[in-house]
Amino acid sequence: WRPLFRRSFSASSRWSVIRDISALEPRLSPRYQECRDGDLLCLEWPAPPRNILLVKKDGEPSVTESLVEFASHITSTYPSISLVLEPHTAAEVHQTLSTPVYTSTADEQLPVAVHEKVDLVVTFGGDGTILRAASFFATCYNVPPVLSFSMGTLGFLSEWKFAEYKRAFREVYMSGAGVGDRTMVLDCPRPTSSDERVESEMGPTGWSSIRGKSMGSTRGARILMRNRLKLGVFTRDGAPVHPNDGSRLPAVQAEHPGIYAMNEVLIHRGKEPHLAIVDIFVGGRFLTEAVADGVIISTPTGSTAYSLSSGGSIVHPLVPSLLLTPICARSLSFRPLVLPTSTPVTLRLSEKNRGRELEVSIDGINIGRGMTVGMEVRVWDEEMRRGENDWHGGVPCVMRRTIGGEAHEGWVGGLNGLLKFNHPFGEEP
C-alpha cells in the first residue's frame, strides 16, 4: 500500500492528458564553458529549460513510482516545464500526474522530433537506461544534457542517488542564471524556504526573480562531455545500411548515414558456433585479420563496459581516444589498442567467412540486419570540437559536484566502489 502513489493517481486522473510532442516549443541549446577549477565543463542555459524527457528502466514498479514522484515535484515546482515521455511510459503513468505529458501520439516510438524539442534528459535506472536515452539521439549532432539517477541497480555511468533529486534538478535548472540574478538575490531577503515554490516566485522571464535560488555561474552544474563514436554500416557495394531494427535505434536519414554510439559498436559471431574473420583497417591501412568471437570499437566511456570484459584497459572518459578490443581472438598476440579519436577504423567481414551472418551491436542493441561477407562497419571521428564554448557531438552528462570539481572524483569512486578495482585481498571485516 503506497499512499502517495494512490493519492496522486485518483486526484489527477480526471484531467490528465497525453499530447503530441509537436505541440512543444523548440529546443534550447545550452553552452558549455570551461571551468577554472577542473576538467569538467560548466552548463549555461540561455533561459530556463522547458521540455524535459524522462526515461526510465522498464519492468520495475519502484522505478515507475520514483519517476512519478519526480514528475509531480517538477510540475508543481516548475510550472513552465513540460514533460516528455516514451509512448508506453506516457500510457503507464499519465493518469497519476496532474499535468499533461507529451509523447508521440502517432507512433509506438519516440519520433526524431525529440531532437528538435528536448532541452534536458532525465533518466531513472542504470547504465542501460542512460544508453537507451542516448540512443534516442543516436542520429543527432547535439545531445541535450543528461541528468541520471541510479535506481537500486548500481551503474557506473549513473551519477546521482534518487534521494538527491530536488537538489540535483534545481542545480541543473538554475545553471546559467547570471550575475544580475545573483544581485537580486542579495538585495531581496529570501522569503521562503520551500523548494516547492521555486518557480512560482519567478517572473515570466525565467530565473530573474527567483530569490535565494541562484547559485551564480561558477556554481552551475558540472558537465562531463563524453565523446561518442560515429559509425556507419555499409554493404559490399559501399551503400549505407540503415541500422533501424524496428525497435530502438532511430531511422537514419538517407543524407546522413552516420549513427552515434556512446559505449561501442561491435561485430560478433552471435549464435554461429564458428569463429568470425574480420579484416581491420586503421587510418585507411590494413592492420590485421582478426579471427575471433568478434571485435569491439569502443569509446573511453565504453572502456568499462564490454571492452573491459574482453581484456581492454580502463580509459578515463577525458582521454580523446578509440579502443579497438578483440573478443576472444584466436591469437596469443592480439593486444587491445588505444587510438586517437581522429583515426578512421573499418571492420570488414572477410570473404573467408563463407556465407555466415554476423551480429552488429550498438550499445547493446543488435541492429536489424546481420552482416554478410564484404560488409563493413566504419567509424569516424565524432569531431567534438572545442572552439571556445563550442561543443557538440558528445553526451553532456551532469556530474555530482564534489570538492575540487574534478572529473577524477566520480571516476575514481566508481572504479573502487563499483568495479572493485584492485580490491584488496583478505577477509572482509
Ligand X SMILES: NC(=O)C1=CN([C@@H]2O[C@H](COP(=O)(O)OP(=O)(O)OC[C@H]3O[C@@H](n4cnc5c(N)ncnc54)[C@H](O)[C@@H]3O)[C@@H](O)[C@H]2O)C=CC1
Residues from 7 through 46 that contact a second copy (CB under 8 A): 39
Among 319, 352, 383, 389, binds a second copy (CB under 8 A): 319
Nearer to a second copy, 14 or 354 (CB): 354
Nearer Cβ to ligand X, position 7 or 161?
161
Query: Which of 394, 317, 390, 396 has its CA nearest to residue 33?
Result: 390
d(CA 231, CA 233): 7
Residue numbers 215-274 binding ligand X by CB under 6 A:
263-264, 273-274
Residue among 227, 230, 306, 313 at smallest CA distance from 268: 306
- Subset of 352-381 contacting ligand X (CB under 6 A): 363-364
> Are 346 and 377 contacting, i.e. CB atoms less than 8 angstroms apart?
yes
Q: Give the DSSP per-residue string, 44-74.
A: E-SS---EEEEEE-TT-HHHHHHHHHHHHHH
393-412 binders of a second copy (CB under 8 A): 404, 406-409, 412
Task: Determine the Cα–Cα distance for residues 302 and 292; give it in Å rounded to an integer.
Answer: 20
Taking residue 393's Cβ as centre, other Cβ atoms within 10 Å add up to: 19
Distance CA 68, CA 180 (A): 34
Q: Applying CB under 6 A, does 321 fall inside the site for ligand X?
A: no
Nearer to a second copy, 119 or 279 (CB): 279
The separation between CA 306 and the C-alpha centre of its own chain, rounded to angstroms, equals: 17
> CA 157 to CA 97: how far, in whole Å?
29
Q: Which residues contact 111 (CB under 8 A, 6 or more apart)?
A: 21, 104
CB of 416 to a second copy, least distance (A): 7
Q: Which residues in 150-169 contact a second copy (CB under 8 A)?
A: 154
Report the residue number, 182 or 248, with the smaller CB distance to ligand X. Answer: 248
Interface residues for ligand X in 121-150 (CB under 6 A)? 126-128, 131
Q: Which of 246, 273, 355, 387 binds a second copy (CB under 8 A)?
A: 273
320 binding partner (options ligand X, a second copy, none; Cβ < 5 to 8 Å by kind): a second copy
**Interface with ligand X (CB under 6 A):** 126-128, 131, 155-157, 263-264, 273-275, 292-293, 301-302, 304-306, 309, 328, 330, 363-364
